[in-house]
Amino acid sequence: MSSRLDGRIGVVIGGGSGMGRAISHRLAEEGVKVYVADLNGEAAEAVAKEIEQRGGRAVPVQVDATSVAELRALYARIEAEDGVLHIVHNQVGMPGAGGLDVSEEEFQRNIDVNVKSVFYSATLAFDLLKRAGKKASITMTASTSALVGSPFSPVYSLTKSALVGFTRALALVGAPDGIRVNCIAPGTVHTPMLASFFGRERGADVSALTKEFVAGIPLGRGAQPEEIASVVAFLASDDASFVTGVTVPIDGGLTAK
């Protein structure tokens, strides 16, 4: 594994499981000191321990990404310990309620998790990212549902679509300081959260629904978390030094149809 990110400091918000775990590992393998931030403190500690056992550098932090105060505290800690930040990746998200019968409480929860957390995790990091010598990268995780729409959960499409426009706007804000901002849009990824996307309806056959959906993917399979992590690592690296303001589908060709 090349060390194209040697000596850089990064934070993966939602790094305790699934895609976030794989991204934390990949960045560490490429030389990043990774702050593994997650609502589940034990999960963050487990991932950080895994990274350290493989010779990498990681710091676990328990963070509620919907709390501005906790995000401020996270960045204050990074400033105190490292004084600079090169990479911010936000993996936080939730599937959202199915259909149109969405309570105000459910709606607000989706906004907080899928939109508010992304906005503040990115914008509150700007001062630290400006110190990265024009080598800073912000990535955020949308979904193919932001690009083609989800008949299963319109509120999920609503919140994830917001990230596509936000990416473009923030890329323009960050450009003068060399802060690149990009978005990934994964399709079906084999993580613990996958079942929740197909199991919104009571009694749903999750296995059958997943198999049916995957059959419609041109490459004929879902992604592994490591395949998502490789794209984030590319976007964080100098290999993507002229890439900003874009949303990259990682979907096996689903949105090409």
CA separation for the pair 99, 92 (Å, rounded):
22
CA separation for the pair 95, 113 (Å, rounded):
10
Q: Of 142, 124, 233, whose CA–CA distance to 184 is shortest?
A: 142
CA separation for the pair 209, 223 (Å, rounded):
16
Question: Given this model, what pLDDT does residue 74 score?
Answer: 98
- Whether 35 is catalytic: no
Q: How many CB atoms lie within 10 A of CB 109?
A: 17
Predicted TM-score (pTM) of the model is 0.92
Token readout for 132 is 């990265």
Residues in the chain: 257
Q: If DSSP codes are grouped into helix, strand and coil, which group holds residue 252? A: coil
Query: For 120-173, what is each residue's pLDDT tens digit?
Result: 999 999 999 999 999 999 999 999 999 998 788 899 999 999 999 999 999 999
Active-site annotation holder among 35, 75, 120, 156: 156
Query: For 207-235, what is each residue's pLDDT tens digit?
Result: 666 677 788 899 999 899 999 999 999 99
Q: How confident is the model at residue 59 (pLDDT cuts 50, 70, 90)?
A: very high
Question: Given this model, what pLDDT does residue 30 score?
Answer: 97
